[in-house]
Amino acid sequence: MSTPEHPPGPVQPFWKEKSLSAMSAAEWESLCDGCGKCCLEKLEDADTGEIAYTEVACQLLDVHSCRCANYAERTRFVPDCIKLTAGNVATLAWMPSTCAYRLLAEGRDLPSWHPLRSGARESVHRAGASVRGRAVSAVQAGDLEDHIVDWPR
């Protein structure tokens, strides 16, 4: 309880106060920084389980805005698109290391360039943390093995 002698402490951002499962739908969606890394095609080594990222974007990813062109119906057009949930995000080894969902699931904070911290949607791109200018659309790609990259970590 706050009194004149004991003013309330600083208000913490919702992502520091709530667990992923306690967030509202709007809070959950706002965690996406719009980097587009999770929308890159990935290859998994059958023997080691190692994930290799490619520069090839999902057919629905707008490679300039780094946003899904049809987010609401994405699973209709891309059946293997995985909907992130509080229950599965910690189990998805292919999630980029900078992903807000992954960071929070691991008990870490958002990076300074995250739009929720910077107040600017473009900050992820200015920080070089997105696929903008580096991803190619699926229609430009041939064999995925020819497009493996090491930058989306």
Give which of 35, 45, 43, 75 is closest to 59, Cα–Cα.
75
Q: What is the pLDDT of residues 39-71, one digit of tens each?
A: 999 999 999 989 999 999 999 999 999 999 999
Distance in angstroms (rounded) separating the CA atoms of residues 12 and 78: 37
**pTM for the predicted model, two decimal places:** 0.87
pLDDT reading at 38 higher than 80: yes
Q: Cα dihedral sign for 67, 40, 123, 19?
A: positive
pLDDT of residue 1: 54
What are the φ and ψ backbone dihedral angles of 92, each rounded to 5 degrees?
-95, 95
Instruction: Pull the structure tokens for residue 146.
Output: 């020819």
Q: Would you tell me how many other CB atoms lie within 10 Å of the CB of residue 119?
A: 7
pLDDT of residue 143: 84
Contact (Cβ atoms closer than 8 angstroms) between residue 62 and residue 82: no
